[in-house]
Structure 1
Amino acid sequence: MEPPGEKPGEAGRLRITPQLLKSRTGEFALESILLLKLRGLGLADLGCLGECLGLEWLDLSGNELTQLGPLASLRQLAVLNVSNNRLTGLEPLAACENLQSLNAAGNLLATPSQLQCLGGLRCLEHLRLRDPLARLSNPLCTSPSYWAAVRELLPGLKVIDGERVTGRGSELYQLCRDLDSSLHPSSSPGPRATEAKPWVEPGYWESRPTRSSSILEEACRQFQDTLQECRDLDRQASDSLAQAEQALGPVGTTSSFVF
């Protein structure tokens, strides 16, 4: 038996219908829907979704989507999750002028040129094309120049794949990437486990002469400052999430929206 409001299209493809949207949101008018979660329903056709003109937050992850045509009319859309689908292009999103955050990990985007359609989105700051924790990626992410190509195409991005590239905290992410590159060089195969060598030279951890103490103290101070900034950002993020849950969720219930 089919879920309420879902109707098969060609070859049994599940599509979005007004009945489905109204049953999910409780709204009588599609234009009144602001937040919509349609995760993991096996959807292959966005149907009437383009009629939700007031939509600001949309989760379509874990479906069978191959194109996003109807989303071109959603000019108010700010947050979009289309991860874990079958998308080969993002062209309709070029019209989503208020888009701020996009998660497209786990699709079939093959080259950085397929991101050029996002170049005119001045509000876009967060982009995710791969998610190691969820084991989601795109073919274009395998290129050694992937990171640099994305930054060149979309210089306004502040966060790529969950890592901050500009603004507060970006230096720490860059340090981690440099360290990871030094430990896992891509140009040549690394030594076998049986041939592993220490990361540092003998005596590296021995105490330095007194003349170096001022440098060490300054490094420790900078590290503590960065650590405090991380704690402040974590507290601010927790406060923002709590406020969002209180504003978006019914009284006595909690909702989870992961992007």
Structure 2
Amino acid sequence: MEPRGEKSGEADGVHVTPQLLKARSGEFALESILLLKLRGLGLVGLGCLGDCLGLEWLDLSGNALTQLGPLASLRQLAVLNVADNRLTSLEPLAACENLQRLNAAGNLLAGPAQLQCLAGLRGLERLRLRDPLARLSNPLCTSPCYWASVRELLPGLKVLDGERVSGRGSDFYQLCRDLDSSLSPDPGAPGPQPAEAQPWVEPGYWEAWPPRPAA
């Protein structure tokens, strides 16, 4: 599904509280939480999440978030999933200096300018902005220059949308993309179109022959 509009009950949505964090993590002190899964809880605000200073892995997918302000204090965060929300900006993530993997598919990111805040994250290696299997995307992904502009803005990326863009295997991925483009005919393009496939053998070739008379 593409980025969603208003979700029902957003005005009465869930906000992150210390009680929620402790219940979901099993930890008594917020600073001790290393891994947190808050998927699909109807969250509209992150509240005190920024107090989890030791957090390394965080899943916020499938909520109704419009901003990520409290995440700016999570300097140890390495893996973040904010897919399927209502985000128009990732600006607070500029302070997450240890971020390595980010899934932001299914949001409202309009253009490459919304990714500029990630340019200073030297450790960011994997980024997902669209997920065809889950039918999640962002408006910026519809641009013909999407792939090239993201690679230019974030040259340190190794994997974009599940495809390797640098390092071992990247040439193979690019070759496959080029081949796919060259083999996909454009119905509106001038010139002769590929001929329709024809049978390899004459009709009746595979029919059984009558038995030969005995000598």
For Structure 1 versus Structure 2, the TM-score category normalised by the shorter chain is 0.7 to 0.9
| Alignment-mate amino acid for residue 123 of structure 1 | G
Rounded to whole Å, the distance in 2 between the matches of 1:189 and 1:73 is 52
Q: Are the aligned partners of 1:30 and 1:51 in contact in 2 as well (CA < 8 Å)?
A: yes
CA RMSD of aligned residues (A): 2.2
- The superposition leaves residues 135-192 of structure 1 with CA deviations (integer Å, 9 ceiling, x where unpaired) of 1000000000000000110111111001001111111111111112113367x6479x
Q: How many residues align?
A: 188
Listed as ranges, the matches of 1:59-98 within 5 Å are 59-98=59-98
Report how far residue 12 of structure 1 moved: 1.0
Rounded to whole Å, the distance in 1 between the matches of 2:32 and 2:98 is 18
Runs of 4 or more, structure 1, over 6 Å off, are none
| Alignment-mate amino acid for residue 76 of structure 2 | Q
Report how far residue 196 of structure 1 moved: 6.1
TM-score, normalised via structure 2 length: 0.82
* Structure whose residues are more often helix by fraction: 1
Listed as ranges, the matches of 1:20-99 within 5 Å are 20-99=20-99
Report how far residue 50 of structure 1 moved: 0.3
Report how far residue 13 of structure 1 moved: 2.5
Q: Does 1:161 align with 2:161?
A: yes
Structure 2, unmatched stretches of 5+, are 1-9, 201-215
In structure 2, relative to structure 1, the CA distance for the partners of 1:180 and 1:190 (3 Å cut) is: farther
The equivalent of 2:210 in structure 1 is: none
The equivalent of 1:127 in structure 2 is: 127
TM-score, normalised via structure 1 length: 0.69
Rounded to whole Å, the distance in 2 between the matches of 1:147 and 1:171 is 15
Structure 1, unmatched stretches of 5+, are 1-9, 203-259
Q: Are the aligned partners of 1:184 and 1:190 in contact in 2 as well (CA < 8 Å)?
A: no
Q: Does 1:110 align with 2:100?
A: no
The equivalent of 1:228 in structure 2 is: none
Listed as ranges, the matches of 1:1-16 within 5 Å are 11-16=11-16
Greater gyration radius: 2
In structure 2, relative to structure 1, the CA distance for the partners of 1:170 and 1:28 (3 Å cut) is: same
